[in-house]
Structure 1
Amino acid sequence: MSDREDGPQHPGDACAGARLHIVTGKGGTGKTTIAAALARALAADGGRVLLVEVEGRQGVATLLDSPPLPYEEREMLSAPGGGRVFVLAADAEAALLEYLEMFYGMRRAGQALTRLGAVDFATTIAPGLRDVLLTGKATEAVRRRHGGRRRPSDAPPTAPFHYDAVVMDAPPTGRISQFLNVNSEVAGLARVGPIRNHADKVMEVIRSDRTRVHFVTLLEEMPAQETRDGIAEISALELRTGMVLVNMVRPPFLGDAALNAAADGGLDLDELAAGLKEAQVEQPRELAESLAGEVRGHALRVRLERRVRSDLEELGRPLVELPLLTGGVDSAALDELTRQLVQQGVRR
């Protein structure tokens, strides 16, 4: 695959049918907030979606103004039309204990390893093992069917899936390709055996046509460049890119003619000062010069944002724009972001 994919250009087409949605983005782009809003949008109209956080930052708990979340799938959000969103703060140590119990009945042995510090030691010297455990938890939830809570293979293959979709709040763009390429990460750890088999199952889901990697960015040069680089790396791994979610978009305050004039330094200071004087504003000339500087800065920012947007459009992926919400992120802001996603065609 090239970094420009000739895939669907509509957000709905990019999401429809996918069961694992991996959300990444440069730090500061609002990745966790967008992942939560995406989970709610995908759960709209009666869906059941799991939101998995894998970085250990408890970002979802902070977003929801909740105490730190335990290692359990807990219903925490509703969605339009009666949907339900469950949240899991994944943890490598807890995931290993669950894995040992689920497949080998070795929970006590795992607890002993934890007391000895063996789990921390192993995941420190072999970071790929941590990534396999974390991605493995998300992909297990993707494969799980009703009646197969202990392990996916327990349920009949014809049973409905436990979740309609799983959304992973994944690591930042700079680490996403390494995080998702678990086969490569475990190559030096195990070429055969249970760890390798586990990694193969994880990779089978990640490489599936039911998985999408979505990128959160801003209309700024550095996040946009990281998005371009990240999409190129994901494509090189033959994984499927979904949407480019442009967050914190601000509308221009002036029309194109005024913006171009301001950006090119063509504002008439005399006319502006005269208008301020007529309005009986004190020191109209000084204020006119200050306002002209502010307007020019705004116009240059709008010009840059339009160029960045054009570059992002060249990636050939569906572009979803989400507004800058003043006043911080609260339940009302999350509602608005969810509404925007649904309105722009995001669906499961």
Structure 2
Amino acid sequence: MSTSTDGPDSADATAAAASAAPTPQQIRRWRRYLADEIAEGQIYRDIAARRHGVEREILLGLAEAEKRHEQHWRTLLGKHAENPPRPSFHRLLLRWLARIFGSVFVLALAQRAESDSPYAKDSDVPEGMAADEAIHEEVVRGLAARGREQLAGSFRAAVFGANDGLVSNLALVMGIGATGVAPSVVLFTGVAGLLAGALSMAAGEFVSVRSQRELLEASSPTHVTLEAAEYLDIDANELELVYLARGMSEEDAKHRALERLGYLNCDCNPKYSARPDGSKGPVDHSDDYAEIGSAWTAAGSSFCFFAVGALIPILPYLFGLAGMTALVLALVLVGGALLFTGGVVGVLSGSSPMARALRQLAIGFGAAGVTYVLGLLFGAQVG
């Protein structure tokens, strides 16, 4: 990974900028850049302290690049580099989260921070340094993608479960509440909706994930060919047909069949290679579909998070409130929860948290508004 800004262009730009007396505006801006570069380097070191192997080396490489950027601003600022200001709130928050969690959540935030770099629009920034920041975003995106794959299944179930609980039970409470029935009826209806929805979500998620894994496993090659190969006749066998059926060309299928029969030596087969103890045999690929997640984990996440989400709209009724007061408070509580879950999804997906949060809010309130109007119409007819 090359993110150096020590080339001749960078040196010439630094020398040219240093030769002219900087304006007060430039000094303030450069000092802010310096503070942020110091903070970003520390963030990557804090995350690296919790990682191992290649990921650790990548993060330390990013930290070293930020150190070079820091030195660039120190050179430009000269005596003004002393006692740099506090970094931006966003980077302070990132640094605090990195020290506590060091997780994909922090990497997703770091990706967002790298994408918002002001360097591309600042003429005082060398082109090499601006290019570094663009590459940093892609590096962090790749690191965050690894973590996203690991939590994709359970996280998807948790987010969908929470949002479904929030929206469906809010719509139910708003619709029933608008009819003018007693608060106890609204409460019992909400509790029934919570249990029914949570059980339905858990069952549906379990069946969905289990079915998806079974379909993928059914489509994956088996080890039957490895066990039967030694008994096949080289002049008349159907092993080539196996590989032709999997989409190989005739030449590749024949080559692979000869490998399996032992006429060609190849240890590159990932499904039949050396085990950790050195013996030969099928390798355990139970984690091949890790991004899908476990069916039990997905079901449990869906049940728990749906129940938590569905509980929020009925909290006002649990505390004895009634009428419009309870409905308004339910809207406020659910609105805050929808903004939070939407923002979290936005952060982890590397997109705008605010846009995702507002989208979640609009969907939830839209559904609640429809059922509230229907409840008013139904209540008026009954009355």
Same fold, TM exceeding 0.5?
no
TM-score (norm 2): 0.22
Which is richer in strand? 1
Which is richer in helix? 2
Greater CA radius of gyration, 1 or 2?
A: 2
